Structure 1
Amino acid sequence: MNTSQDKWTGHIKFDPQFDLQVVLAQLVQAFNASPFLLHNMMQMRLVDGEIQAYIEMQPSLIGNAAFQILHGGVAATVLDSIGGIVAMGELYKQASADTLPETTQKVARLATVDMRVDYLAPGRGQYFTATAEVLRLGRKSCTMRMLLINDQGQSIAAGIASYAY
């Protein structure tokens, strides 16, 4: 049976010798199929074995027309999205063949509980990338730190978020 949960988790197979890079690629593919991310032209990418978010500046993403800068809500969305997908990847990194079914259930339930965004600089640039790292990974929740930078390497926004699963 093909459920929406199966789609979201990327049809990950419970192979005792699962390849983490394949799992991460499946997560990226699942996120990139999200209608909201597609609408906002956001992408997840696997770069050197790590998931990154990528978005090119578009007129529809401008929040301050006078200064032509990225809307703060777009920055927050990118940070939340990268935090969530990297958290999912970290859950899989910690999984063993025996815990894969439980891990997949956690991934399917993962939801943002709380998020704080600090806007560090105006959102100027041709494109932006975001990364995330785990601060804490527990049995029922995790805390992530995220960073959005522009094409010049300038930090635009940073966030900390808690996700429950």
Structure 2
Amino acid sequence: MATIKPFRGFRPAGHCEKIACPPYDVLNSAEARKMAEGNPYSFLHVDKPEIDLPEGTDLYAPEVYAKAKENLEQFIQTGVLKQDEKPAFYLYAQTMDGRTQYGLVAAASTDEYEKGIVRKHELTRKDKEDDRTRHVHALSATTGPVFLTYPDNAAINEKTAEIAAEF
């Protein structure tokens, strides 16, 4: 069984609707630039930092990752994002076509992934994996969810429903 742990997440301290953005891989740079235009709070400045660099910048250039780090640090230093005082698990909700799915946000081990305890569930492109690995290393943070599944568990389902009912 995989090990998961609570962690001290950074969350929006207001401006949630301005910070929220689609996942980095569903927009190209031009679309992201347009979506974030005039919105200094958009998390696209962290997840797709090339939007703050000259058009045509190599997406995998070191300055792209440096800009992501700079933007994330600015969000933290200016109080746009605040770190929770205590480690926690977080509930994640995603709604599409009127159906909501819930997930648990937690810290997981990359060692367990490499050992096969956490199994790969899809084929991903090496260039995209390398990009996100460089992004994580540059920021010392994971800025987007990695979806994992687990066998049906009544206790987890019950707790998820209890927490979701509060919102």
Structure-1-length-normalised TM-score: 0.24
Structure with the larger strand share? 1
Structure with the larger helix share? 2
Larger C-alpha radius of gyration, 1 or 2? 2
With a CA cutoff of 8 Å and minimum separation of 6, indicate the structure with the bigger relative contact order. 2
Structure-2-length-normalised TM-score: 0.24
